[in-house]
Homo-oligomer: A and B are copies of this chain.
Amino acid sequence: EQILVSNQQAYFAAAERVEAGDTIVLANGTWRDFELVITGKGRKNAPITVRAEESGKVIFSGQSSLRVGGTYIVVKGLVFRDGYSPRGEVVSFRRSKKDQARNSRMTEIVIDGFSKPDRYESDYWVGLYGSNNRFDHNHLVGKTNKGVTLAVRLDSEESRDNNHRIDHNYFGPRPVLGSNGGETLRIGTSKYSMFTSRTVVENNIFDRCDGEVEIISSKSGANVFRGNLFLRSRGTLTLRHGDDNLVERNVFLGYGKDYTGGIRVINRNQTVRGNYMEGLRGTAFSSALAVMNGVPNSPVNRYVEVSGARIESNTIIDSRRVAFNVGADEERSAAPSDSTFANNLLGGVEGESFLEVYDDISGITFDGNRVLQGGVDDALSGLEAAPTAMERADNGLLYPVDQELSSLGAPRDLMPVKLEEVGVAWYPKPGAGSPFGTSGTVTQVEPGEGTLVTALVAAKAGDVLMLAPGEYIVDRTIPIDKPVTLKAVAADESEESVVLFARPSLFELREGADLQLIGITIDGALAPDSVGNSAIRTTTFPIQSNMQIELDGVTVRNLSVNKSFNVLTLGKSTLADRVSIRNSSFADISGAVVSAAAETEDFGQYNVEYLDIAQSSFSNIGGPIATIYRGGRDESTFGPYVAIANNALANVGKAPTNGSGAAIHLHGVQTARVARNALAESAPLRVVHTVGTPVTAVIGNSFAQTPAPVLEELIFEGAPRVDLEGNTLDGELIP
């Protein structure tokens, strides 16, 4: 029987009496606040089906979800967007704890931005329970809140040895979360990792899955990861807990993007063979290949030692790191044993260290590997290293020209899965690129009262507003909820386009905002005396989208009507992918220039991923030019990343209200480069390291009538791990 339903009441009536072989057809249209539940006893050749009248034309919006229980049930063709699940999952292979799905399938489901409004309120988009279920040809894009995109749960007996199949899905861009909980796929948890899952993950594409350090976290045994393509995705496929997993014929293409990684190996009897990796830039835990040290007799939630690993016939090329005994320390003292590393083709970056060893590798048998280029640790000097000509084959991958080497590296018949083979044909896969200037519309704005407000309210996403020279008086805080560019038009240097604002803030960044300012002047002379003023700030509502903020050739001055007037303040539950300040000038500001320090709960969260300040001048700034805070002991994020170079700072950070006591304050920043800045009569640079292996370089700076840098380690015992080179203090080289 085929039953067409067009409202929720009709659906639930139909679902009540549905039998094996029946199909419920959801009428085209938007179904708002629909928590669909289907259960029942289908049969192998007579499943129960729930499908869209036409795939892609049935939209679930508002507070909606999908739960499947029973056996042999198929759900097809739904789109979830413009809302979020009120539950812990958007789609779930169980109706309740007691009614888990078996032999069921979800296919051609789209979940697009169906994220909880607060980025730190967690859920799964997909929960896989029960056994023998298939999740295929689905399209999952833009999860912005915390929690794994797809979780396979083993928390009940009937969901172990599950033989689930996850295939031909498009896992589209997942932006940086700025916290733990940004994995795209997780199978199991440490608590149940002694059980086998037997889940097959194959022929999926992971495109820009940048949520956190783990793209896939395998936390159970006997899973298979085969034929997947990882495109420009930060992080790794991690065999975190559980034994006997197989990782074969996957392709990782990093295209030189930061933090792109490959496979991280932990536990027993893992097989990694026939994989291809190119253009990966991760190191340490995010290396193209990382074989970890373990904890002797490790509890399940720590690091089980590697033994019986088979790592064979992989190609790793143009990648920054392959590393053994990663994580070796007093606790993780157990080196790999009974393992082989054979017939791999290994190419690093010319002139850089590539193959690294951090402890004993006598438990690994090396055989038949070839190193094409890149530095090799002495412990691996037995490996054959020689330049080798490579050519790109029809499948788009590189192979040695020399036929004698054809038995090395990834197989010739490897065929990366194509975008058109995954997800659905009827829903577009997202493109990329800068958000600015995309509309092609350039609008002239004249000086005066209210002209800028009018122009910005009328602007569309990607518009550019050209501000003629003169004064722009702004009597309200202008909400920014789209990418927009403000650019000064100046015939010569004497002409300014000056924006004066009469409220505590000029711009309020909201959901969807990106802001680019070029050449304009922001003057705080008309701002009221109100605690917490900030020329640019985020709304106090949480923001799902990651923002980009660029200031180029901008002048900011006279933010001094009260004691803590900032230039840019990023608030709680917001994350900027990038804040970039170049060729700009800041003077007479009582607060901070960039305040990204609102996540004070020490949960490992933070407010900016990349901060880049260059070729700019700062004078008479009461607070720091940058204060970045990431507290706590979590190690799941790559950021924050901070580069501050070639700037001049005079009288910065010395206001009594500057709680950090610093001119630049970096707390828990993972990668920092502070280079060739000139600080005069300022508070010190202050760097505080928390967890992990932060990389900090302080190079070629001059400090005049300014204290020496203050460097602190909160957890690591030993001298601060900072590369200090060529800095001078009142003209004397700092040793």
What residues on B are CB-neighbors of A602 within 8 Å? Answer: 659
Among B122, B573, B601, the residue within 8 A (CB) of A530 is B122
Closest 5 pairs between A and B when the two form their complex, measured CB to CB: A118-B540, A86-B476, A531-B603, A540-B542, A87-B476
Q: Are A87 and B475 in contact (CB under 8 A)?
A: yes
A88 at the interface (CB under 8 A from B): yes
What B residues does A476 contact at CB under 8 A? 86-88
C-alpha spacing A659/B531, complex, angstroms: 27
Closest residue of chain B to A503, judged by CB? B88
Mask, A558-578, CB within 8 Å of B = 1, is 000000000000001100000
The reply on A638 being an interface residue by CB < 8 A is no
| Set of chain B residues within 8 Å of A449, measured between Cβ atoms | 96
Among residues of B, the one whose C-beta sits closest to the C-beta of A657 is B602
Please indicate which of the listed interface residues A88, A96, A572 has the most CB atoms of chain B within 10 Å of its own CB.
Answer: A88
Q: Are A600 and B600 in contact (CB under 8 A)?
A: yes
Given contacts A88-B503, A540-B542, list 4 more A-B pairs with CB under 8 A.
A118-B539, A120-B532, A532-B601, A541-B542
Q: Residues 470-490 of chain A: 1 if any B CB is under 8 Å from the residue's CB, otherwise 0?
A: 000001110000000000000
Contact B87 A540 (CB under 8 A): no
**Interface 1/0 per residue, A84-121 and B, CB below 8 Å:** 00111000000010000000000000000000011011
Tell me, rounded to whole Å, the shortest Cβ–Cβ distance linking A212 to chain B: 13
Known A-B contacts A96-B449, A504-B121, A600-B600; the reply to A573 vs B540 at CB < 8 A is: yes
Q: 11 A-B contacts, Cβ less than 8 Å apart?
A: A86-B477, A87-B475, A88-B528, A96-B449, A117-B541, A118-B539, A118-B540, A531-B603, A540-B572, A540-B573, A602-B659
- Check A531 against B87 for contact (C-beta < 8 Å): no
Please tell me which one of the listed residues B121, B180, B528, B532 contacts residue A540 in the complex, with CB atoms under 8 A apart.
Answer: B121
- Which residue of the partner chain B has the closest CB to A604? B531
Return A529 CB to nearest CB of chain B, in Å. 8
Q: Which residues of B contact A122 (CB under 8 A)?
A: 504, 528, 530
| CB neighbours of A87 from chain B (8 A) | 475-476, 503
The answer to whether A532 and B86 have CB atoms under 8 Å apart is no
Please, how many angstroms separate the alpha-carbon atoms of A602 and B96 in the complex? 46
Q: Convert A119-163 into 0s and 1s, putting 1 for each residue whose CB lies closer than 8 angstroms to a CB of B.
A: 011100000000000000000000000100000000000000000
Q: Check A502 for interface membership: any CB of B closer than 8 A.
A: yes
Interface core residue of A117, A121, A449, A532 (most chain B CB under 10 Å):
A121
Q: Are A88 and B540 in contact (CB under 8 A)?
A: no
A502-B88 in contact given A540-B120, A541-B541, A542-B541 (Cβ < 8 Å)? yes
Residue on B with the closest CB to A528? Answer: B88
Q: Given the complex of chains A and B, what is the CA–CA distance between A542 and B117 in angstroms? A: 13
Q: Which residue of B lies closest to A571 (CB)?
A: B572
For the complex, what is the distance from the CA of A88 to the CA of B504, rounded to whole Å?
Answer: 9
CB distance from A150 to the nearest CB of B (A): 16
Q: Which residue of B lies closest to A478 (CB)?
A: B86
Given contacts A121-B540, A542-B540, contact A532 B88 (CB under 8 A): no
Interface membership of chain A positions 532-546, coded 1 if the CB is closer than 8 angstroms to chain B and 0 otherwise: 100000011110000
Cβ A532 vs Cβ B603 within 8 A = yes
Q: How far is the CA of A88 from the CA of B476 in the complex (A)?
A: 7
In whole Å, how far is A166's beta carbon from the nearest beta carbon of chain B? 22
The CA of A476 and the CA of B181, in the complex, are separated in Å by 19
Residues facing B in A504-550 (CB within 8 A) are: 504, 528, 530-532, 539-542
**Closest-CB distance, A633 to chain B (whole angstroms):** 10
**Contact residues in B for A96 (Cβ distance below 8 Å):** 449
Set of chain B residues within 8 Å of A503, measured between Cβ atoms: 87-88
Report the separation of the CA atoms of residues A528 and B180 in the bound assembly, to the nearest whole angstrom.
15
Provided the pairs A504-B121, A540-B542, A542-B541 are in contact, do residues A475 and B88 lie with their beta carbons within 8 angstroms?
yes
Given the complex of chains A and B, what is the CA–CA distance between A180 and B504 in angstroms? 15
Residue of B nearest to A120 (CB): B532
Q: A118 to chain B: which residues have CB within 8 Å?
A: 539-540
Chain B residue numbers with a CB within 8 Å of A540 are 117-118, 120-121, 541-542, 572-573
Residues in A600-632 with C-beta less than 8 Å from chain B: 600-603
Q: A122 CA to B503 CA in the complex, in Å?
A: 9
Q: CA A541 – CA B531 in complex, angstroms?
A: 20
Minimum CB–CB distance from A188 to chain B (whole Å) comes to 14
Residues in A646-704 with C-beta less than 8 Å from chain B: 659
> Could you tell me the distance between the alpha carbons of A602 and B528 in the complex, rounded to whole angstroms?
20
* Cα-based distance from A401 to B600 in the complex (angstroms): 63
Q: How far is the CB of A587 from chain B (nearest CB, A)?
A: 23
Task: Give the CA-CA distance A121 to B476 in the complex, in Å.
Answer: 12
Chain B residue at smallest Cβ distance from A573? B540
> Smallest distance from the beta carbon of A100 to chain B beta carbons, Å?
15
CA distance A504 to B476 in the complex (A): 38
A362 to chain B, nearest CB (A): 38
A500 CB to nearest B CB, Å: 12
Q: Which residues of B contact A531 (CB under 8 A)?
A: 180-181, 603
Closest Cβ–Cβ distance, residue A501 to chain B (whole Å): 10
Q: Which residues of B contact A541 (CB under 8 A)?
A: 117, 540-542
Contacts of A86 in B (CB 8 A): 476-477
* Bound Cα distance from A146 to B532, whole angstroms: 12
A604 to chain B, nearest CB (A): 8
Q: How far is the CB of A89 from chain B (nearest CB, A)?
A: 10
| CB closest residue in chain B, given A601 | B532
Closest to A146 in B: B530
Q: How far is the CB of A455 from chain B (nearest CB, A)?
A: 16
Closest chain-B Cβ to A606's Cβ sits at a distance in Å of 14
B residues in contact with A180, CB < 8 Å: 531
Complex Cα spacing A540 to B120, Å? 9
Taking the nearest CB of chain B, how far is it from the CB of A538, in angstroms? 11
How far is B502's CA from A122's CA once the two chains are assembled, in angstroms?
A: 12
Contact pattern, A 572-604, Cβ under 8 Å of B = 1, otherwise 0: 110000000000000000000000000011110
Q: CA–CA, A477 to B542, complex, Å?
A: 18
Enumerate chain B residues within 8 angstroms of A573, measured Cβ to Cβ.
Answer: 540
